[in-house]
Amino acid sequence: MKSFDLFEKKLGLDFKNKDLLTQAFVHRSYLNENPEFGLEQNERLEFLGDAVLELIVTEELYKKYPEKAEGELTNWRAALVNAKMLTKVAEELGFNDFLLLSRGEMKELGKARQYILANTFEALIGALYLDCGYEASDTFIKKYLMVHLPEIIKTGSYKDAKSHFQEMAQDKNSVTPLYKILKEWGPDHKKKFTVGVYLHDALIAEGEGYSKQEAEEEAAKQALVVKKWQ
């Protein structure tokens, strides 16, 4: 079993239950090859961590920017908690050195690895919340994730394609885009999605991704091209 002592020291963590920390890094594929490992995979922790992450980021934005409207805060939050940002932070913090993956997944270094890193970040937040509580989770998220907000605001990267397409659709057609899953395939730990974006009943464009959110964002990008609304 990998030792997480170095990981804890580097990030200023101190887990009482070391198994909980290890579990946050256990990918489903690892247990397929190591069924006697003794710990569960990290998806339940990811489920919890996703909610804790969203609450803490929302609370911080609400308190720190009282003059900002809900819509802008929503866009900032989305830019902070999306898979791209979580992957970036996970890579910066050295998550790749501690992932417990199958031999096949170890060779995957593209989109699939990014998706695993983002999910592992959420799982770590879930484990931290269970072991150390809300305050420790809050401190960790502010230290390693919220620090990216000034750059997000400065570059305007929070203006994602979905938000832009919705603004344009409402302005030009007085309609809110609707997203539908058209197809999903692959194993549970590496599922892919095709999503269609509609205006009224008309399919405007499709997008693919390793999560529904990613597929929706890709569909919105394509729709902006189709409608010439870039």
Query: What pLDDT score does 25 carry?
Result: 96
Active-site residue identified among 46, 50, 160, 218: 50
Nearest of 216, 189, 209, 194 to residue 120 by alpha carbon:
189
Please name the residue ranges forming H helices in 12-96.
Answer: 18-23, 28-33, 43-64, 70-81, 83-92
152-202, pLDDT tens digit by residue? Answer: 888 776 777 888 888 889 888 888 999 999 999 988 777 899 999 999 999
Q: Which residues contact 61 (CB under 8 A, 6 or more apart)?
A: 68, 73, 76, 77
Q: Which residues contact 30 (CB under 8 A, 6 or more apart)?
A: 37, 41, 100, 101, 102, 105
Q: Does residue 91 carry a catalytic annotation?
A: no
The Cα–Cα gap between 173 and 128 comes to: 46
User: Across residues 61-66, what is the average pLDDT?
Assistant: 95
For the chain, domain boundaries:
5-155, 161-226
Q: Topology of 161-226 in CATH?
A: Double Stranded RNA Binding Domain (3.30.160)
Residue 8 has pLDDT above 70, yes or no: yes
Query: What pLDDT score does 89 carry?
Result: 96
Query: What pLDDT score does 2 carry?
Result: 67
Name the CATH superfamily housing domain 5-155. Ribonuclease III domain (1.10.1520.10)
Query: Do the domains at 5-155 and 161-226 have one common CATH topology?
Result: no
Task: Evaluate whether 197 touches 217 at the Cβ level (below 8 Å).
Answer: no
| 74 confidence band (pLDDT: 50, 70, 90) | confident
Nearest of 160, 92, 90, 158 to residue 125 by alpha carbon:
90
User: pTM for this one?
Assistant: 0.76
First-last CA distance in the chain: 49
Please give the sequence-ordered ranges of beta strands (E in DSSP) within the chain, or none if there are none: 178-185, 192-199, 202-209
The Cα–Cα gap between 187 and 29 comes to: 10
Q: Which residues contact 194 (CB under 8 A, 6 or more apart)?
A: 181, 182, 183, 184, 206, 207, 208, 215
Q: Does residue 36 carry a catalytic annotation?
A: no
Query: What pLDDT score does 134 carry?
Result: 97
Count the helix, strand and coil residues of the chain and give each as a percent rounded to the nearest 5. 65, 10, 25
Low-confidence winner among 43-52, 59-68, 171-180 (lowest mean pLDDT)? 171-180
| % of the chain surpassing 90 pLDDT | 63
Phi then psi dihedrals of residue 13, to 5 deg: -105, 155
Active-site residue identified among 60, 105, 122, 160: 122
